[in-house]
Amino acid sequence: MPHHLSLYLDLVRFAAALVVVLSHAWLVLFPSYPLHWPGPAAVIVFFVLSGFVIAYVTDRGERSLADYALDRLSRLWSVALPALGFGLALSPFVSQSVFMPELAETNAALRTAANTVFMAQTWFLDLAPPLNGPFWSLNYEAWYYAIFGVWSYLPRTFRVPVAIFLSLIAGPKILLLMPCWLLGVLIYRTMQRRPLSEKTAVLLWICSFVAIALLFKGAIPTKSHDAFQSLSPHTAALLAYSGSPLTDYALAILVAVNFYATAHAYRLARILLLPFAKPIRSMASFTLTAYLFHLPLLVLLWDVLHTSPGVCLLALAGSIIAIGTLTEHRRRDFRAVLAFTAGRLFGWRRPLPESDKQW
């Protein structure tokens, strides 16, 4: 992957996580300065980005499905398990929260277990873990990893039936947004076969960025979702986070085009991004921690400890850095533990090496 494109994806990854954090925190902490932060849209950006990166990782030549599974599970579980545990431990001390008006007060252990194995959003389930509503997207992404992994690594005889079997377990709600994820795969695989001139790439980047901005300036996704809920509330409730597929597809296409254009805007991207390479890499390395820990941390800092808005944000940032250092930054250690455990269970003679250090 070109260095400038890798930096850009890291920047997008961090920016999307920041939008999700601010979408939950801003109106509560700063009600006098109302700003709209499109948190759900940021998740669609994550899906396209994830498909792009996983296509790149598999193209680099992970040796087997076991390698692939260990890499993906260590990436998710290294942060997801501590986040779920934190929410479960904190929930008995929270009777109400401005960040989550409808707290899931029952079956906390069951909800946590379902999210631990990424079954909480299959078919028409919607089992949010304690104090961590954003966790829903990891349930989607884990199934995208699984389906894509078996399709990429299993022999041809088995890949179709196993992929169909996994799709049947995941259910229509998760599959409805999988085209967004697959768009990332498509763009990665076509960007080198169909190059653009620098001038065309820059123009296409500007157009795609403006189109994305206009999409949200006009509140089109919100209006579409509200209209769908009013016309068919039962179906909207069943689909939950997959209830706006048309606008989600439109956004995913624009994001994919934006990545495609960036891949060919070599000189301009290098000028704009390379001087900031170190801080971009550093910020992006805490993305998953920020995404999975921000809501329970906000509940703790605001609802339980009653800190001021400024202190709350500073403590939130400091907590994410501290937690990420112990979780996200120790993923290789966690992977080694998983590999050792799998070796004892399945008879592998040695831990499999980690094949994707960054992602």
> How high is the pLDDT of residue 342?
80
Tens digits of residue pLDDT in 100-155: 767 766 788 999 999 999 999 999 999 999 999 999 999 999 999 999 999 999 99
Could you tell me where the DSSP H helices lie in 130-195? 136-153, 156-170, 172-176, 178-191
pLDDT of residue 347: 67
Q: What is the pLDDT of residue 315?
A: 96
The predicted model gives 294-320 an average pLDDT of 95
Phi-psi region of 37 (alpha: psi -120 to 50; beta: other; left: phi over 0): beta
Cα separation, 17 vs 206, in Å, equals 22
| Predicted pLDDT of residue 348 | 58
296, pLDDT greater than 90: yes
> Buried (b) or exposed (e) across 177-207, using 16+ Cβ within 10 A?
bbbbbbbbbbbbeebeeeebeeeebbebbee
Of 58-72, 289-303, 345-359, the one with minimum mean pLDDT is 345-359
CA distance 119 to 135: 12
- Mean pLDDT across the stretch 337-356? 67
* Mean pLDDT score, 161-183: 96
Total Cβ atoms within 10 A of residue 237: 12
pLDDT, the chain, mean: 89
Rounded average pLDDT over 160-167: 96
Q: Is the confidence at residue 64, as pLDDT, over 80?
A: yes
Q: So what's the pLDDT on residue 240?
A: 85
pLDDT at 357: 45
pLDDT range class, residue 349, cuts 50, 70, 90? low
pLDDT higher than threshold 80 for residue 222: no
Q: Between helices 39-59 and 178-191, what is the axis angle to 10°?
A: 50
Q: Over 80: is that where the pLDDT of 355 sits?
A: no
Q: Is the pLDDT of residue 60 over 90?
A: no
pLDDT of residue 61: 65
Specify the pLDDT at position 299: 94
In this predicted structure, the answer to whether residue 353 has a pLDDT above a threshold of 70 is no
Instruction: Give the residue with greater pLDDT, 356 vs 22.
Output: 22
How confident is the model over 245-258, as a mean pLDDT? 93
Q: What pLDDT digit, counting tens, does each position of 82-115 carry?
A: 999 999 999 998 888 888 767 766 788 999 999 9
Q: Which of 5-9, 267-271, 341-345 has the highest mean pLDDT?
A: 5-9
Q: Which residue did the predictor score with more confidence, 8 or 229?
A: 8
The whole-number average pLDDT for the span 319-335 is 94
Both tokens of 241, joined, read 């986070």
CA 304/CA 25 separation, integer angstroms? 15
For the chain, first and last CA: distance in Å?
13
